[in-house]
Amino acid sequence: MSGDFVTLGDWAETGKQAAGVILLDQHSRLLMQLRDINERTAGPGLWSIFGGEVEAGETLQAAALREFAEETGLILPPTALTPLARALSLFGTRLYAFTATISVDPSQIRLGEGAGFAFLTRVQIESLPLMPAAGAILRHYFATLDTQN
């Protein structure tokens, strides 16, 4: 499945893997996570997509679904995920991002990780301090939307 992802920037075939979800809601807003501010969190106080580390023996898709559910309380069916892109984090983690589109009400979110969340427009996201790898993936996502219009 990793061949289905567009590679952005430098890439390495070794290191930790993480998988995340770019969720588009019924109002064309993306669900974003505000990272915790503490010494254990990579990118404290920055915005990112929901996701996390791939566990041993786990597929990228399974990790994205599990992490998304743990962090938001939302259960996505495997068929909702479409591979989008992959980028290397500043820490050497290989981040794989999927897209999904669902109707969701903010009251359905049960934040399991992070300092907060928001449903944001492209203009809002472009003005936020983003985790670098997530930022690269989001810029690619917006560029693919531009070419479709």
Domain assignment present for 115:
yes
**Is the pLDDT score of 117 beyond 90?**
yes
Local confidence band at 13 (pLDDT 50, 70, 90 cut-offs): confident
Domain assignment present for 52:
yes
Percent of the chain with pLDDT over 90: 83
Alpha helices in the chain (DSSP H): 60-72, 122-126, 132-148
Q: How far is CA 69 from CA 43, 78, 114, 124, in A?
A: 21, 12, 13, 24
* Total domain count, the chain: 1
Q: How does pLDDT run across 35-89, given as a tens digit for each residue?
A: 988 877 877 799 999 999 999 999 999 999 999 999 999 999 999 999 999 999 9
Report which DSSP code applies to 79: G
**Is the pLDDT score of 3 beyond 80?**
no
Domain assignment present for 140:
yes
Q: What is the CATH number of the domain that holds 56?
A: 3.90.79.10
Percent of the chain with pLDDT over 70: 97
**Is the pLDDT score of 146 beyond 90?**
no
CB 21 within 8 A of CB 100: yes
| Residue range of the domain that includes 83 | 2-8+15-144
CB 15 within 8 A of CB 91: no
The per-residue pLDDT for 2 is 61
Query: Cβ atoms within 10 A of the Cβ of 91, count?
Result: 12
**Nearest by Cα to 13 from 94, 84, 78, 67:** 94
- pTM of the predicted protein model: 0.94
Farthest CA pair distance, the chain: 42
Domain assignment present for 97:
yes
CB 108 within 8 A of CB 74: yes
Contacts of 59 (CB under 8 A, 6+ apart): 1
Domain assignment present for 51:
yes
Domain assignment present for 75:
yes
Domain assignment present for 149:
no
The per-residue pLDDT for 14 is 84
